[in-house]
Amino acid sequence: MLSLPSPDVLRNVVDAHCHPTDAPSISSESMDKLSINICAMSSKASDQSMVRKLAQSYPDKVIPCFGYHPWFSHLISIRGDLSKEDHFRELFRPSSAEDLAELNALLPGLSDPIPLDNVLQEVRQNLEAFPNAMLGEVGLDRSFRIPYDYDASPHLAVALGRNISLHSVKAHQATMELLASSKAKHGVQWNKISLDMHSCGFSPEMWKDIERRYSNVFISLSTVINSRSPNHIALIKACDPHRILVESDYNDVDLCAQRTWEMVSTVAHVKNWKIETEWREEGDHTAVVHRLKENWIRFKEGNHPTTPSRGKS
């Protein structure tokens, strides 16, 4: 296991994406011990209030993020007037008597769908309650069997001037379309916010294309997802040094610092950046934690130029 640096260094590290309220192990002891700052995602109905409480209890360490993971988006109905049966029938579209029988057998185990309007209203209230809150986790996922294609929540985030943590799996085309339509629809407002492609699995070519088109899109990488593919090394190599963030994507908050630090160290090795062993505010700004911290501040503050600057490395 990689050894962690001093608490002074860790205090300047931000885990851009994790799910602490998903783990039963979360406790005040764990939170008190937590040595880094975390962006705590919510992904389904039940954890919106848990993330809210976590951010109220640990305002210095927790950046709350409110949203619905695409894996749970089948529980959201676009229309408020559909019964549970009709909602799931419309979603799964059983084409044979067997499919229909199977769906009918599943129905009692499925919870009632929540109308999209209610979801958006709750997300809006939560975002407004925390000036530093982000929209997350939201996204597009074709590997999940239910196609997910509403982008109302990213538009809500732009309208409220909030940053986004976006999940995109096997949905490159749809993601490109979402970025293009957001930019076209919101104009100047779009560049006020930042968007993080979390556990980004894009090819280096595709990522460079995004960098050229958008000045407000960042990537964050995790060892748990990205290390499965050698692609992430090429992606880190290709990425503009100003656009990269790190994350754990972990549920167990006891491991967030360890997992995030592993990615900090990978980024440092690939980019050939020094790793701080102690912290000096005015220290070496070409070392990895200083750089990632500055990237985080740029991400957090938004207000990006309308045309991406030619990134120098």
Residues of this chain that bind Zn ion (CB under 5 A) = 137
Calculate the CA 275 to chain-centre distance: 25
Closer CB to Zn ion, 73 or 191, in the complex: 73
Least distance between Zn ion and beta carbon 141 (Å)? 11
Least distance between Zn ion and beta carbon 140 (Å)? 13
Least distance between Zn ion and beta carbon 34 (Å)? 18
Q: Tell me how crowded residue 180 is: count the other CB atoms within 10 A of its CB.
A: 12
Least distance between Zn ion and beta carbon 219 (Å)? 14
Calculate the CA 155 to chain-centre distance: 16
Closer CB to Zn ion, 137 or 141, in the complex: 137
Longest dimension (CA), the chain: 69
CA dihedral 117, 120, 125, 130 (to 10 degrees): 180
Cα 40 to Cα 48: distance, rounded to the nearest angstrom:
10
Least distance between Zn ion and beta carbon 309 (Å)? 30
Least distance between Zn ion and beta carbon 276 (Å)? 27
Closer CB to Zn ion, 181 or 229, in the complex: 229
Cα 115 to Cα 87: distance, rounded to the nearest angstrom:
10
Tokens of 251: 């549920």
Closer CB to Zn ion, 9 or 55, in the complex: 55
Specify whether the CB–CB gap between 169 and 102 falls below 8 A. Answer: no
Cα 139 to Cα 175: distance, rounded to the nearest angstrom:
8
Region class of 170: left (phi > 0), else alpha (psi between -120 and 50), else beta: left
Least distance between Zn ion and beta carbon 116 (Å)? 21
Residue with the CB atom nearest Zn ion in the bound state? 137
Closer CB to Zn ion, 71 or 190, in the complex: 71
Who contacts 289 (Cβ-Cβ below 8 Å, separation ≥6)?
5, 9, 12, 13, 264, 275, 276, 279
Who contacts 249 (Cβ-Cβ below 8 Å, separation ≥6)?
17, 18, 19, 198, 199, 222, 224, 225, 259
Closer CB to Zn ion, 197 or 288, in the complex: 197
Closer CB to Zn ion, 137 or 276, in the complex: 137
Specify whether the CB–CB gap between 151 and 139 falls below 8 A. Answer: no
